[in-house]
Amino acid sequence: MKLEIRDLTFGYGKKAVGHDLSIDVGEGQSLCILGSNGVGKTTLLKTILGILKPMEGEVLIDGISTRGWSPAEFGKAIAYVPQQHIPPFPFSVLDVVLMGRTVHMSTFGMPKKQDRDIACDILKKMGIDDLKDKSYTEISGGERQMVLISRALAQKPQILILDEPTSNLDFGNQARVLEYIIKLVEEGLTVVMTSHRPEHALAAASKVVLMKGGDAIDYGSPENVITEESMKSLYGIDVVMVDADMPDRRKAKLCIPLMNSYN
């Protein structure tokens, strides 16, 4: 599914957070939104998800405006992995993942065997099936992040939206989640994510948008958009871009902040 954001102004009530944004991301592509704290990344995601109404402009899915869509219509197309999720009850991990199946059930419907099979299969693919029967309130923040990604995938969305998907994860799980996102994109999913890690955008995104002061100051391929100059402009620090030789002869681009402590 193609996601288009056309001349979008978004925010809370009458207060605009972002202005006149136009970006698109197609099937089998991923878009990463970079920008400093409080610039409006989550607010943009909430507007795409229909949680907030556009102040001006439109969000289109496969060319159709989502204005007036019901939560069920959004739920069938888009799944969301939020930054933080505080559970009100001690559901089991499997129950949380099964919640992703709700959009495919009738009102008051109960999960069927097929729903359980889908949920268990995703937990296996994410490498966390050993957590299945644990209480969601008694697992670590990083494990919870993996469970939330599983819940979103159980929804079988066409578009997956992730707000800082690697923020709570250890070094290994960050790489695993990024690899998994890359695989899902290769399989045809449309992904939109936010990140505070330029390397993650370089590794996993087809397109990057840089947000500053409510505007998109640059938008395009990660290699073109993520530069020493643009990162200084975005985050106010000097950075050095380095090409690292990977064992398979590929190059990986790294973005290293210039700190006085290096010697």
Diameter over CA atoms, the chain: 63
Least separation in angstroms between CB 234 and ligand ATP: 12
Least separation in angstroms between CB 38 and ligand ATP: 4
Least separation in angstroms between CB 39 and ligand ATP: 4
Rounded CA separation 122/164 (Å): 20
Q: Indicate whether 198 belongs to the interface with ligand ATP (CB under 6 A).
A: no
Q: Indicate whether 236 belongs to the interface with ligand ATP (CB under 6 A).
A: no
**Among 35-43, 56-64, 174-182, 221-229, which window interacts with ligand ATP (CB under 6 A)?**
35-43
Residue choice 23, 39, 94, 154 for contact with ligand ATP (CB under 6 A):
39
Q: Which one, 14 or 250, has the nearer CB to ligand ATP?
A: 14
Closest by Cα among 37, 25, 35 to 210: 35
Query: DSSP secondary structure string, 218-263?
Result: EEE-HHHH--HHHHHHHHSS-EEEEEEEPTTS-EEEEEEE--TT--
Rounded CA separation 43/10 (Å): 7
Residue choice 30, 43, 195, 230 for contact with ligand ATP (CB under 6 A):
43
Q: Indicate whether 247 belongs to the interface with ligand ATP (CB under 6 A).
A: no
Q: Which one, 42 or 102, has the nearer CB to ligand ATP?
A: 42
Binding mask 2-31 for ligand ATP (x = CB under 6 A): ----------x----x--------------
**Among 33-41, 122-130, 171-179, 202-210, which window interacts with ligand ATP (CB under 6 A)?**
33-41
Size of the site for ligand ATP (CB under 6 A): 10
List beta partners, residue 103.
Answer: none
Q: Specify the residue for token string 């819940």.
A: 151
| Positive or negative torsion for Cα 59, 62, 64, 68 | negative
Least separation in angstroms between CB 116 and ligand ATP: 34
| Positive or negative torsion for Cα 60, 65, 66, 70 | negative
Q: Indicate whether 37 belongs to the interface with ligand ATP (CB under 6 A).
A: yes
Q: Indicate whether 225 belongs to the interface with ligand ATP (CB under 6 A).
A: no
Do 111 and 151 contact (CB within 8 A), yes or no?
no
Closest by Cα among 52, 48, 80, 51 to 61: 48
Binding site for ligand ATP (CB under 6 A): 12, 17, 35, 37-43
